[in-house]
Chains A and B, each alone.
Chain A
Amino acid sequence: MTRIVTFLTRTKGSADKAHRFGAQDYLAYGYLLLGVLIILIPVSWTLLSSIKSEEALSGFDTRLLPYSQIVKDIPGIGEKPIYTLTEDGQTQEVFKQGPTRRVTEVSPVANPETILEVPRTELKPSEEIRIATENYLNPLLQRGDQKYFNFNLLLWNTVFVTVTATLITLLINSMAAFALSKYRFRGRLTCTILIIATLLIPSTIILVSLFFVVWSFGIFGSLWGVIIPAAATPTGVFLLRQYMLTIPDELLEAARMDAASEWRIYWRIVLPLSLPALSVLAILSVIWRWNDFLWPLIVLISDPSQHTIQIGLTTFSGEFNTDQNYILAMTVVSLIPVTLVFVWLQRFITTGIATTGLK
């Protein structure tokens, strides 16, 4: 018995360091558990809520499972929500014949002609567990009462911005990093300092004049107005430069012996070798662009055909406050890619940020 306890409460470390659980360990695990619960509960509650029916959401049903009231098609009358009525130990399914009053007129499903008068309090909604797939399918397939939220367009715009911006970022950042790490030239220090300085310039204080610049380039209101200003990231240059410094110069010299041009050296030798750093930057860039909010809001808000998911979600929840079921479902949909990227690639991301110390 004691062996089992020792085994279960042993902590990490070599045998001589192994010690039993102390108060400190309990506190540490308690803290971590609490933190993870605070992080996971809101997200999973949103997930669970997004599969509840519209009625359950507008009634703020706080039960865990997606209960919704059964609706049956009564011949000659139409679709009616079903209640259960318990009288003298007998239960039967009924539907309401008129408005809900203190004494309400109901009819049994089996026999729609008879009318019973029962107190309102004796009627219980007859419920089943049903996953409300319409929350997801209506906006995605443009059907039902859900026509304003053109999800496919939003998705296409966001994917376009994310992919294009990431490709451009990878290309020009790696080019700059290559120049800064593998060449000695006048102005190298100045360029490095300038790039680090841009890290310290908060993006919000240049908002107004950036708007003027983007407008005079003629890309205001188009997706390029979001892609281009964000393409050059100081973080990316910094991260790639640090990595490329570790590539031995002899490889480059050997290629020069074989009369490779500098551009060929860059994309045939240096780029493949810095693939780990490139993938970290790619992941970061995808997350940044996918989640971008303030600048796309300014540039794209006037043209609904150019909205990204984040903006669409904002305007949608602003205008149609009642459609909580769609808001939650679309929140979950926009959360899914980020979560997938996170689950697969979190090791890259966490080490990438930890080594550069930047975001």
Chain B
Amino acid sequence: MAPAALLLYAICLLWIVGGSVWLLARRRYGVRNVGEFAMDLLGFPVEIAQSLWGRSGVPYAFLLPNMMIFGFFTFAPMLLNFWVSLTGGDSIALLSRPFIGIANYRDIFNCSDMLVPKTCSNAGFTFWTGMFNTLFFVLIQVPVMCAVALITALVVNKSLSGRGFWRAMFFYPVMLSPVVIANIWKWILNRKGILNAGLDNSAETVTALAGMAGFDIFATILFAVLLLICSERALRAGAEPSMLWAALFSLLFVAVVVWADPLQLIWQTDTRLSLYPALILAGGLLWLVSTGRRLARAAIVGLGVVAVLLLLTIQFDAVFDFSDFRPVNWLVTPRTGWPFFWLIFVFTWSHMGFYMLILLAGLQAIPSDLYEAAKMDAARPLRVFFRITLPLVMPTFTVVLVLCLIRSFQVFDEVWLLTGGGPGRETFMVVQNIFEVAFASDNPDYGEAAAGSVLMAVVIAVFTFFQLFVTRRQSEF
């Protein structure tokens, strides 16, 4: 038995026996006051502190247990990390670990090219692969999470019926454990799972529909009508073009251009290059509409004419022919990007509700008279969002950014359970590296893992401070 445990038992014994004697000597307890006696016994050190030092000693006694646990299990490990990272060997006894200086760090930095993990030593290879993967993950995850959480919070903040229900529903996945989440999604994303089955089914249905006679004409007319409705609504008479309908219109426009693919006449490729000019045109249109230019009306009409002309050239039965659909092994197929995509999806799925709630609290703290004033001035919704909502929710948003960054950096559970770092090392994260080096290998190298943790802490600190520095001006608002 470790000496610390022995000490613990001694303290417990002293507490119970000494406390009972002390309490019984000073107070009277009836048989019915057993509960009271137990509570008093529990707080016996506080009573001692009060009788020894008076009321000024009491707060320290109250704080002691909490701060002791913080000290031993949070702050001490922080400092200990540096010491462990400077020692080698696989001994668990702290004092018998030999001091080896910065050898662990040198191992990690032992690379001929820092940007290519393959050129590193073994320790460096796993660490930097994990680090680069994690950085890539964070770079995509944080904006996606913040955007989705903000949009959801904005929608839930509207005066809709059943607000509590929607809010609770979005929060539900936050309560599920990573193991449950991983099992659920593994089952869904199995090669023969429901997702592939559903996709296969709908691909078959659409292909069958597209093969029917007259589908081409029908689809052409349908899309023409949709375009007509959208542009008509966007160009509503007597008012400025509506942003929402303009957005729908540009979505349709992009789809039509991509299907027609006019650039294919110039460059004969299969990559649908027309997507990029279409996106640029649609973006330009949205910019015109959002800034309220005169040109916006003309642009909508012009793009509408272009879209209708292109619509006539589309072979819809070829566009909607999905007969070459094959089920994808979502989490296993290498070099497709799907494992990474699903990690980001599942991570967003499971944590979004939490950030949404924080943002919602921030949104609800915005005084409503500001919005009433904006309404008096007939401000456009987009302008209200950028001039009132966004600046005022910025402090909360900064908190969300930092929390999300720190959390995404530590991503482990979901990844380890869903893909195990695979395929290959495509989704191998830095925490998994630390875990495997220290706890999941036959000859654990605690020094190496501690060095990795220290480096990871440095990267997180740099990112957090950088982010706080960038958003400092907005949050002072």
Contact B167 A207 (CB under 8 A): no
Chain A residue, CB-CB nearest to B400? A357
Chain B residue, CB-CB nearest to A58? B192
Stretch at the interface among B40-48, B314-322, B333-341: B40-48
B450 proximal to A (CB < 8 A): yes
B295 proximal to A (CB < 8 A): no
- Would you list 17 pairs from A and B whose C-beta atoms are within 8 A, ordered by A residue? A29-B160, A39-B173, A43-B184, A201-B78, A205-B453, A208-B453, A211-B446, A212-B84, A213-B77, A217-B72, A262-B47, A263-B40, A293-B179, A310-B177, A334-B179, A342-B168, A346-B168
Interface of A, helix, strand, loop or mixed by DSSP:
helix
Stretch at the interface among B116-124, B259-267, B271-279, B406-414: B406-414
Contacts of B66 in A (CB 8 A): 172-173, 175-176, 232, 237
The digit string for A181-203, where 1 denotes a CB below 8 A from any CB of B, is: 00101001001001100101111
Contact A202 B406 (CB under 8 A): yes
| Residues 345-372 of B at the A interface (beta carbon under 8 Å) | 349, 354, 357-358, 360-361
Contact A232 B164 (CB under 8 A): no
The digit string for A16-31, where 1 denotes a CB below 8 A from any CB of B, is: 0000000111011101
Task: State the A residues within 8 Å of B (CB).
Answer: 11-13, 23-25, 27-29, 31-32, 35-36, 38-40, 42-43, 45-46, 49, 60, 62, 171-173, 175-176, 178-180, 183, 185, 188, 191, 194-195, 198, 200-219, 228-229, 231-232, 234, 237, 261-264, 266-267, 287, 290-294, 298, 301, 310, 313-314, 317, 324, 327-328, 331, 334-335, 338-339, 341-342, 346-347, 349-350, 353-355, 357, 359
Contact B435 A294 (CB under 8 A): yes
Contact B156 A293 (CB under 8 A): no
The tally of residues in B whose CB lies under 8 Å from a CB in A reads 105
Contacts of B190 in A (CB 8 A): 60
Task: State the B residues within 8 Å of A (CB).
Answer: 1-2, 4-5, 8, 39-40, 42-43, 46-47, 50, 55-56, 58-60, 62-63, 65-67, 69-70, 72-78, 80-81, 83-84, 92-94, 151-152, 155-156, 158-161, 164, 166-173, 175-180, 183-185, 187-188, 190, 192-194, 197-198, 233, 242, 244-245, 349, 354, 357-358, 360-361, 396, 399, 403, 406, 409-410, 412-413, 417, 431, 434-435, 438-439, 446, 449-450, 453-454, 456-457, 460, 464
Residue A205 contacts which of B76, B81, B92, B198 (CB distance < 8 angstroms)?
B81
Contacts of B60 in A (CB 8 A): 179, 185
| CA distance in complex: A237, B431 (Å) | 28
Contact A342 B175 (CB under 8 A): yes
Number of A-B residue pairs having CB atoms within 8 Å of each other in the complex: 291
| CA distance in complex: A29, B159 (Å) | 11
Tell me the minimal C-beta distance from B94 to chain A in angstroms.
Answer: 6
Residue A200 contacts which of B5, B77, B406, B409 (CB distance < 8 angstroms)?
B406
Contact B179 A202 (CB under 8 A): no
Contact B453 A42 (CB under 8 A): no
Contacts of A339 in B (CB 8 A): 172, 175
| CA distance in complex: A90, B168 (Å) | 55
Chain B residue, CB-CB nearest to A330? B183
Contacts of A301 in B (CB 8 A): 439
Contact A229 B69 (CB under 8 A): yes
| CA distance in complex: A53, B175 (Å) | 28
